Homo-oligomer: A and B are copies of this chain.
């Protein structure tokens, strides 16, 4: 058998993003953590971790992480089958997901599941490329994102699509667009963009026949994006779930009539094939629940 004390030290350093916090989490000294990692590396004959801030696993380190995450899930299954093994701790499930899901439908969707299975969630917010990289690296058990392509050993299931609407505040449309929405006026008024990988506003402009750069704020926060739109700082595409109440009150209005104001973004649930019973239960739960918030694709 592997020495799981050593593997746990590695996993905790990566999850906690540092030796000091890993030591706190495991109730060990920092030098004990450091020795365990060094011992692991001595046995393997190669480094498992790049010592930078935060520490990054090497290729072989990632394979170890992938392994230990799977072992933990299997242990969880075993504890449910053999309740006397249960040490009173709750399961932890690490998942990567997109910011807009976490800000809107994710919590109501998984609430009953977490209560039933006594699961604690470690959620990481990532765009799809980084999320899938974390899957591949064995850092997360599941990933909710826009890519239909599973990584090796995993499955991707279509859950439906998140509906986005191009919106702005009435004051913004008055001030910046002179009351009329055209591609040229939009390009000259500030948009809001989540980050360098957010192409949704660009897709919307392309549909209007406009290619090229346009003014934009950068706002890497789902709720910040909503607040900036609501307060007339820019226009942008908001999840319908998030814009609903403000649209009903007239505080936000669609930039164009339907269907032109709408972009549907499909979401896929990536999960390991052999991730154990609890991950399989979450997958069934998501398939069952997602239709309440996502539109059919």
Contact = CB atoms under 8 A, between A and B. Distances in A.
Contacts of A222: 221, 223-224
Nearest to A99: B221
Interface stretch (A2-10, A66-74, A143-151, A226-234): A226-234
Given A108-B231, A111-B232, A233-B107, A102 B217 contact: no
A47 to B, nearest CB: 15
A108 B222 CA distance: 15
B124 A220 contact: yes
Contact of A228 (B99, B107, B125, B219): B107
A178 to B, nearest CB: 15
Nearest to A227: B107
Interface residues of A, number: 41
Interface string A118-139: 0011111100000000000000
Contacts of A175: 115
A259 interface: no
A16 interface: yes
Contact of A221 (B17, B102, B190, B231): B102
B104 A227 contact: yes
Contact of A122 (B106, B218, B224): B218
B120 A219 contact: no
Contacts of A104: 223, 227
A220 B123 contact: yes
A215 interface: yes
A21 B219 contact: no
A107 B172 CA distance: 14
Interface string A82-113: 00000000100000000100111011101100
A216 interface: yes
Nearest to A188: B88
Among A104, A111, A122, max chain B CB count under 10 A is at A111
Closest 5 CB pairs of A and B: A223-B223, A102-B224, A103-B223, A107-B227, A111-B231
16 contacts: A17-B196, A90-B190, A102-B227, A103-B223, A103-B224, A107-B228, A111-B232, A111-B233, A120-B190, A121-B217, A124-B220, A125-B221, A125-B224, A222-B223, A222-B224, A223-B223
